[in-house]
Amino acid sequence: MSTAESIPKPASVDPGPYSEKGGVFWYGDSGLNVRDAARAMNAVGARFITITTYELPASGGFRLEYHWDLMGRLLGFTFPLAANTVESIYDLCEAADWIEREIHEEYRIDFTGREYEPLLLREGGVCGVNLQKEVAQ
């Protein structure tokens, strides 16, 4: 059995096949949305690690990569964002709180379904000014 095949799959949501690349077991085109992916990871007892944001060139929006750890193996889901919004997983995964707030402040991405409190920014700070290229220019 390969390492990828030995990763337990949740009974309720099938995340589809894995492919290993760059040190991560990536879920392929599973068709899951971000909340279903979080539910699938919760179901197998995976630990949330972080969300990495990529700003695509020529205002092509963003790509978010969600990382989870399961028994020492790094699992990844990729979600392209056409607009600057994505559903929050904070209610499903408490550990996502700070990184969602940070991405909101750094890239002006809105995680819907949650409330924000300032994390990095002080009063008068502008969302997106730190890292989002469009705003920085």
96 sits in which H/E element: none
Q: By CB under 8 A, is residue 19 in contact with other proteins?
A: no
Q: By CB under 8 A, is residue 130 in contact with other proteins?
A: yes
**Segment 62-81, which members bind other proteins (CB under 8 A)?**
65, 67, 69, 71-74, 76
Q: Shortest approach of other proteins to residue 85 CB, angstroms?
A: 21
Q: Which long-range contacts (CB under 8 A, 24 or more apart) does 19-24 make?
A: 23/74, 24/67, 24/74, 24/75, 24/76
The string of DSSP letters for 19-69 reads: EEETTEEEE-S----HHHHHHHHHHTTPEEEEEEEEEPTTT--EEEEEEEE
Q: Shortest approach of other proteins to residue 22 CB, angstroms?
A: 4
Q: Shortest approach of other proteins to residue 84 CB, angstroms?
A: 18
Q: By CB under 8 A, is residue 116 in contact with other proteins?
A: no
Q: Shortest approach of other proteins to residue 99 CB, angstroms?
A: 8
Q: By CB under 8 A, is residue 10 in contact with other proteins?
A: no
